Chains A and B, each alone.
Chain A
């Protein structure tokens, strides 16, 4: 009798453990800059991701399990990002990671997620090397939800040369940024192919805040368009200082653009153009931005990051469902096989050879006289 009881007890313990195991949440890591220069972008992303997790959990989770979001701060530094990703994989045992938003960080973490067999989705890392290595081979565990710099550079060149009819371009870029270097390279290539001339190509370093020396050179070069392949703060300061120096060139930027630039640069922002992934009035995202405001009592100013984080989470959740289990390799396979997935801002199809989305439209934005960013045009890929 004692033996039977003991056996029953053991069976009971195992069952209880089994139940507990089944109910254990699916852990998803979120990598974002929560402090440092890019904190604005990162905080918005994590806020959006939390909203998604709350929604999914309220509906009972996925695969019968709740989701747990584990955010880590990159501090806008590659070395901190690398440590964060190691911890996510080794001690938190996340099944996948969403973020970060910057190319440099994703390039730095790519070998680690590959080794740890944990898929990572970059939100706005547009440099080609995020998903493909130097030799052109696809990185098996690195994905992105945004378009890439060759496409973005071409859009910017097209805008400057054809739409705005400017034939002499100047560039001001951060020499230490993978993102800026890449975007600049593709802009130059496409702009020159169209027939335009690069009359000034000026660099600055990560920590610089004063660009007046370079802008003076740019002004004297006679450029009629200034391309800024940079990030929010740098671009805003450059735009402000350009206005102070009386630079007349039209300013075109990339997707490092953020709404907080309007606060920094003020009226100098009027009439500037940006290439971007989405826009504030996107009908698919508008209700989500409205809810964001209700939940966080603040506008979703960094709406591009918000959108990519929101849809990035939904993409991952869809992949976990299709994989049928919360394990890295299976999720990576499901992410790779994504076809015609209807998200909120776009319909996503992934190219298995590059892990880049196919056929994503580019959006051109223009800052109006009221300092509100307005939709200028949408460019469907050829």
Chain B
């Protein structure tokens, strides 16, 4: 077993964990993040991609609304490549309670959220897809956010300040000595190799898995696992985000996102944090509810369904510290349970991940005797792309391709452009749906954190478009066969990738998507015999 030493081990590669890693690194605290799968394989990529303005929470929880607004503004500033500032709408239907709109307007004003009532004729002109019966509509400063990109930007920023990342490493033990955490035992999920990291502190940011991680230290945290199902349409249904103006419920948010629209969500309590199977009946229910806002919804082409598990912290077990808001809970297990060097951060939402990280690292720094202040709200996540570089990118990848690649790649964009300039062969577009070039795929494949086709998908969006990887997964496999880490078991790479895509296609398999599914089955079974491949 190999061993190394670090001040803090962060457990969980979601928005919160990566935010914490970055915050620690910026304050000069040595840290390593361990994640059981790939970064963002959990809840941080399984949501609607809405960067809340806070309007949705204004009535129920003003403090949460204020936090959202503030964090929304910060993320727009520090991570423009991750945020699409498209604005949001709240629309009221005849069956919605008009009194709620009044209450909501007051609450938004109190939280400082700017709302602007829209002329209904203008609304119908701009967004004809919406139900013509809409009675009132308001503009709010909502944005769309790319979870994958935020997480990798966090990690890349943290790495520039010395932090490290271990994906596919699951925590199997937490060592303690005299009431103090001393290290973490890990197993490499890909190789089975075991590893030990000695540390002074552990931060449990495992999200839906936080209870399981705490249990390894003999502690109890009650996390409710709340599954939400979402569906993705193959184009942008609306220009802006559309929320329904009523108390938050199922099926009331549409978020246009890159080339698609994500619509959600539902709420079902589950036992297993890994339960991300979108339910057929949930999908049917979602679409039925969504038709209130978009009557023709059933006729638009769906790409897939997916589900994420929201980790909701159950109040009552809370330490109830003053820093803790009602939306996330920072658990100081030294005070709570007498275990030194163990902190858990649970609950919360994607929009406020940075704030959660700040509060968590404030506590960690205090315990470690570090006085450096938080800088995550000021330091940009990635340097802005140089316009001259973008022009060079357009010459090799085309206009839309270059813009997308620049946003996805952040600081690595320069390297990828240089490679494509040097080698015209690398300019081939492998994923036509998301405009991903061979150069980008090759770069990501060699970054040290890519072990499966799925890892490459999450970083590049390869395979996330209409064909759901039918063509580009085979191409990617071919292009990667030259690299030692991908040269091995092609059957395994392809089968696992296609199976994961299948899981999301099945619940929405009708219309054009059933046709696509038949093509995929014809290609991989009829033409390639993948089902009997050795």
A binds B: no
B interface, CB within 8 angstroms of A: none
Chain A positions within 8 Å of B, measured between CB atoms, are: none
